[in-house]
Chains A and B, each alone.
Chain A
């Protein structure tokens, strides 16, 4: 694997995470439990889509095949997507959506913090911009997880169920392969495994405030960030997201 291949792979991973999660969050539009949450969910989705434009734009540049961020978002099939599985699982109830957001935001904020020191200044610049948005995402999702975990009996039960369902999808964010090794060597991005300690400390603190119990299992589903095996859900998401571009090839929108 050449350095540029590895770099493109890394950028697709960043951009596909934000694209797929942003899409999922946008599915909530107009259906949130309270108006402030409608606004916050739309805002989060908007930030994530904005970050996608930057990551996938750079990915296209590094690939050097003249592909735009839109080409990458709308014209790849599921096997070419590199997002972690956590981002593509369906929304479920509001509790699962916010728990997924929290588990991702915690990783995302730590990752962006490291990327701000990337040897590639384009990566550092995107990370710097995104990290401001993500600091707010994390603050909000953590507060909501605490509020609902430590709320009523029902909200506690639902949040624990959400955590139990999502926990097997957490480990994938810390797995690595040769592309990651290349990135570490080039000083572009950290080793995913090196984020785990800080992550565990952060989520343990919040989940403890939320009176929730982290499942006693280190099992992790995998296959999203390598593209080897996505969930069945991704294909349906892409069917909807890519429909216009696929049905009317070459049109300008």
Chain B
């Protein structure tokens, strides 16, 4: 998932049209780009799909950080394939956003100048090789929690993009788990790397679901529109319940002293992340925010001559073809 704190737009449309629109959603119909939709629905979706797309793009950076240091040819190939898949997810999602009337260039500019966000998780560093396994296991694992229900979201292009993305993400999660398992079963140093990765990435992974429901002010409208399918706390709980036994199997310790199975609730009790840290990261003060955005801006600026060159060539070619006809 990579959408956090998506503000639902208030909508001021004709009440009759709104009611008919809501009835279609309630009946489980898909809304397609050419259908009428409330302005708030359109804007909220652009923000949500855009944030997800940007997360895929910025997410290349912490993983790319280890491609040149991957310890075996196979691990290097797996990581390259994963990063390539993620860039591909970015591409589908930008296409889905384009159907709502915003071009990829416009939405990219909004990322680069800070008007749009990407998931807070990618503002944390990848410091040892086990982080690459942990990113697959925890980060992709958390993403899947949200993306699986979003396959049923009301907006057709988004739903279809999610179906493709989920297939690849669950594959990434299995590969990530396999990579960290190898570390957890390895030498004492490797085990230390795996534990260190879990220690640093556990709470940031829990933050991926967004603030606690009691502080999440934008959920109701989005849930009514089936843009958001579950509350933040529901998904977080599901993630904890799924992940804790996996950590135990690996022989790793989840860094939460209060973590314990609650028989009565049928769920694990756990400590919430430090929400003040979360809000710091969202506001640009995470460990890597400045560097990540600087990297993306540099790539975009350094690439301007390439984009201009290819565009100029395409125009010349079209003109030559036109002249020859």
Contacts and interface: CB of A to CB of B under 8 A. Distances in A.
Interface of A: 19, 23, 26-27, 29-39, 42-43, 45-46, 49-50, 52-53, 56, 69-70, 73-74, 93-95, 144, 146-148, 150-152, 154-156, 158, 240-241, 243-245, 248, 250-253
Contact of B295 (A19, A30, A151): A30
16 contacts: A31-B64, A31-B299, A33-B307, A35-B90, A46-B80, A49-B77, A52-B73, A74-B72, A94-B306, A95-B306, A147-B314, A148-B310, A244-B71, A245-B71, A245-B72, A248-B189
Contacts of A147: 309-310, 313-314
Nearest to B56: A35
B314 A34 contact: no
Contacts of A33: 299-300, 302-304, 306-307
B160 interface: no
A151 B77 contact: no
Contacts of B187: 248, 250-251
Contact of A38 (B60, B63, B189, B308): B60
Contacts of A27: 67-68
Contact of A42 (B74, B80, B311): B80
Central interface residue in B69, B91, B183, B309, by most chain A CB within 10 Å: B309
Contact of B91 (A35, A56, A156, A251): A35
Contacts of B129: 244, 253
Interface residues of B, number: 51
A30 B299 contact: yes
B73 A154 contact: no
B86 to A, nearest CB: 9
Nearest to B128: A244
A150 B73 contact: no
A93 B299 CA distance: 11
A25 to B, nearest CB: 9
B72 A70 contact: yes
Contacts of A52: 73
B186 interface: yes
B70 to A, nearest CB: 8
Contacts of A243: 69
A70 B71 CA distance: 9
